[in-house]
Structure 1
Amino acid sequence: MSQTVRSELINITVREEKLLTVAVIKSIASFFPESVLTNDMLIREGGWDWNPEDIFQKTGISVRHIAKEGECASDLGVAAANRLFDNGCCLKEDIDYLIFCTQSPDYFLPTTACIIQQRLGLKTSCGALDINQGCSGFIYGLSLAKGLIETKIASNILLITAETYSKYINPKDRSTRTIFGDGAAATLIGTADGTQESIGPFALGTDGKGAANLIVPAGGKRMPVSKATSVETEDEGGNIRSLNNLYMNGPEIFNFTLKTVPKATQELLEKTGRQLLEIDYFIFHQANKFMLERLRDKMKIPESRFFNNLESGNTVSSTIPVALETALKQDLIQLGDEVMLVGFGVGYSWAACLVKISEKILI
C-alpha cells in the first residue's frame, strides 16, 4: 500500500471518528383555539375605562386565543402535533419519545402525555412524560430531548408545549387577563450526523424564592379548593381574584427578569467563547412588549436581530416555538444561522440555549 493511500485512509478514519449523532430541530407546528378575546372585547366585558390602543402599546397584544369550556391543553397539543405530522416531517410510528410541557394538565393523574400518546396513535414502546414548567419550559424540553438523543435512548422526540392559562384567570383581573392567551406548539427533535452540536449549550437556573410571585395558590394538595379559597377580593390596583385564580406580581417579575436574563445570556456566551453580536438572531420568551423592549435596550441587541411579536398573546411555554416558527416563515432566520433562545418566568425559572439552523426546518 502506497504512503498516499495509507494517509488518505487515516484521514477518512479521523473524519469518521469526529462524526457524532447530534440532536436537531426538524419541524415545528403551532395551534390556537378558535375563540378570541380582543382588546375591545376586554374593555367592553370588564367595563374598564381603558383605550384598546393603550393596551396594545404596553403589552404588544391585540388578540388572545381562549380555550372553550371543556377544551384542554391536551386538545391543543394533539391538534398542533397533527399539524406537524401533516407537513410530512415524519410518520407517527417514528416517534419513540413524547415530552409534554404544561402547567394546566387535564388531570392531576394520569400523566397527560400518556393520554396524548393514545390519542395520537403513537406506538406503545414510546416513552412519555409531563414536565410542569412555565415560560422556560420549551428550552428545558430541548435539553431533555438533546440528552435522550445524544445518549441514544431515543431517535425522534415529539416535544409538545400547551397551556390554557385562561382557565386560571379571573375575568376581573386586569393584570393577567390583558396578557395571557392559550395555545400549543409541537416540535420534532431528531438526529443528524455532525461534528458539532446543533442544540446547545445551555444555561439553566432556578430560584424558588420567587414562587409566590406567579402562582395559582389553591387547587393542589397544599391548599385544596374550598368555599374559603373561592372568595374574591380586590387588590390596591383594582384587580379582583380569588385564591383559585392566577396571581402575578408584575413589578417583582419585571425586576427578576431584568436582573436574571442578561446574566443567563452572558453565562451562555461564556460557555461558547462568543460575543453577543456574533449571534445571528435572538428569540426571548414573548412575555409582553414593554419587557422585551427593556431587555433588548439593556442588552444592546440590534432591533433587526430581535423577535418581538405577540400576535397571540403570552402563551407561556409555547411562545418561543411559536416565535421560532413565525420567524422562519418570515425569513428572519436563514439556514446556517445561530439563534439564541431565552425563557424566563414562573418558578422562578430560566433557561437559555443556542440553536444552529443546520438544516431546513419544516413548518
Structure 2
Amino acid sequence: MKSYIKAISYFLPEKVVTNEDLVKEFPEWTVEKVAGKVGVHERHIASDNETASDMATQAAEKLFAEHAIDRSTIDFILLCTQSPDYYLPTSACLIQNRLGLSTSCGALDFNLGCSGFVYGLSLAKGLIAGGIAKNVLLLTAETYSKHIHPSDKGNRTIFGDASAATLISTDGFASIENFSLGTDGRGAENLIVKNGGLRHAKDLNEMTFDEAGNPSSSDYLYMNGGEIFNFTSEAVPVLVDEVLAKNQLSKDDINLFVFHQANKYMMNYLRKLIEIEPDKFFFFLETVGNTVSSTIPIALCEAQKEGKLKGNILIAGFGVGYSWGATVLKAVSSKQ
C-alpha cells in the first residue's frame, strides 16, 4: 500500500530573538555579519516552561484545525525529539492524552536530529505498508535553545525552536517514494550534549573557552563546526546520487530540492557542489533559523504555499549522529 503526505502544519514559540538582540549581547559581531554568514535574521525561542511536547501538541492542533482533520482517525503517533520532557514516560504518550486521541493509537518517541523528519517518513511508510496504521501523525519538535549556553554566540545565531505536524496517510498531495538512509556513529563526538544521559550522569564539567571565546561544557551543546561541514560535504552529494538511483531518476527529473535548512553558507555550498540550479533549491530559514528536525516540514509547508510542490521533490536531512537520509516525494497533480 502506498503512503502519502496528506497535510503539514507548524508551530513557532511566541518569543523572538533578532540579530539586533544578539548583537547587544555580543557587540564584537554585527547584524550584517550574522545575516550574511548564517542567513538568519530572527529565531523563535521556547519560554522557560515551554517544552517540546507542548510545541508538538500545538502543531498537531494547528494541523487538525487548518486541514479539517478528524483526530479520531489518527492511529499512530511518531515524535522525533532530542529534548523530551522526561527520560520516561515517552513524550508521545503524553501527547496522545493531551490531544484526546484514541487509546488504541500507537505512540513512540525516536531520538534523531536533522535527519529525523526523513527517518520519520520512512517509519510511517513502513507502518502503513505493513497494515499497522492508516493515519500516522509525525511530530518533530525541538527546544535546542535549552541545550545552548547563553555565551555560545555561534550556536545561538543558528538555532531556533519549533515544531511541525505531518499527517502521513493512504492518500494525500505527495506520495512517499524510495529512501536512502545512512549512519556513521564515529562522528558522534562532534555534535553532542554529553551530560544528561547515564554515561556521564554525574560529570558536571567546569566551563572552558576556546581561542575564539566559545564556551565548552558537557552540560551544553557542543558542535565542531569544521568537522560537521566536512561530513556534510562528503555525505550529502553521495546521498543525493543514491536516492536518485533508488528512484530511477536523474537530477533533471527533480523539480525542487528541499534540504535540511542548516545555515545559508552550508546550503549554498552544497547547492553549488551538487550543481543544483538556484530556482530548484528552496530556502526558508531567515525568520525561523535552524529548527533541527522541523526544518524540512516547515520548508515543505512554505513551498506548498508558494505552489512549488510539483512533480518530483527531493528532500534530504543530515547531521547529528552522524545520520543522514533522503527520499523523493511525487506530487499528485489533482491535489495541487
Instruction: Please classify the TM superposition score into its range, dividing by the shorter chain length.
Output: over 0.9
* Counterpart residue type for residue 305 of structure 2: K
What residue is the counterpart of 2:11 in the other structure? Answer: 31
Distance between the aligned counterparts of 2:241 and 2:258, measured in 1?
15
**Contact map agreement 1:161 1:186 (CA 8 A) in 2:** yes
1:285 and 2:260 correspond: yes
Secondary structure of the residue aligned to 1:161 is strand
Task: Note the C-alpha offset of 1:43.
Answer: 1.4
Task: Note the C-alpha offset of 1:359.
Answer: 5.7
Secondary structure of the residue aligned to 1:122 is coil
Q: Report percent identity of matched pairs.
A: 52
What residue is the counterpart of 2:306 in the other structure? Answer: 330
What residue is the counterpart of 1:357 in the other structure? Answer: 331
Task: Note the C-alpha offset of 1:151.
Answer: 1.5
1:142 and 2:121 correspond: yes
Distance between the aligned counterparts of 2:102 and 2:85, measured in 1?
21
1:199 and 2:176 correspond: yes
Spell out, residue by residue over 1:235-268, the C-alpha distance to the aligned partner (whole angstroms, 9 max, x if none): 1221123210000000000000010000011011
**Contact map agreement 2:177 2:247 (CA 8 A) in 1:** no
What residue is the counterpart of 1:274 in the other structure? Answer: 249
Task: Note the C-alpha offset of 1:342.
Answer: 0.2
Structure 1 unmatched runs, 5+? 1-20
Spell out, residue by residue over 1:8-58, the C-alpha distance to the aligned partner (whole angstroms, 9 max, x if none): xxxxxxxxxxxxx3100000000000001111111112x331110110110
Distance between the aligned counterparts of 2:104 and 2:164, measured in 1?
23
What residue is the counterpart of 1:79 in the other structure? Answer: 58
1:48 to 2, 5, 27: 27
Over the aligned positions, Cα root-mean-square deviation in angstroms equals: 1.5
**Contact map agreement 1:60 1:309 (CA 8 A) in 2:** no
* Counterpart residue type for residue 106 of structure 1: D
What residue is the counterpart of 1:94 in the other structure? Answer: 73
Instruction: Give the structure with higher Rg (CA).
Output: 1
Task: Note the C-alpha offset of 1:106.
Answer: 0.4
Task: Note the C-alpha offset of 1:330.
Answer: 1.4
Runs of 4+ aligned structure 1 residues displaced above 3 Å come to 359-362
What residue is the counterpart of 2:281 in the other structure? Answer: 306
Task: Note the C-alpha offset of 1:290.
Answer: 0.2
Distance 1:87 1:355, change over 3 A: same
* Counterpart residue type for residue 258 of structure 2: I
Task: Note the C-alpha offset of 1:225.
Answer: 4.5
2:200 to 208, 220, 223: 223
Task: Note the C-alpha offset of 1:361.
Answer: 6.3
Task: Note the C-alpha offset of 1:213.
Answer: 0.3
**Contact map agreement 1:43 1:50 (CA 8 A) in 2:** yes
Distance between the aligned counterparts of 1:213 and 1:283, measured in 2?
24
What residue is the counterpart of 1:209 in the other structure? Answer: 186
Spell out, residue by residue over 1:171-196, the C-alpha distance to the aligned partner (whole angstroms, 9 max, x if none): 11122111011000000001039xxx
Distance between the aligned counterparts of 1:69 and 1:87, measured in 2?
28
Secondary structure of the residue aligned to 1:273 is coil
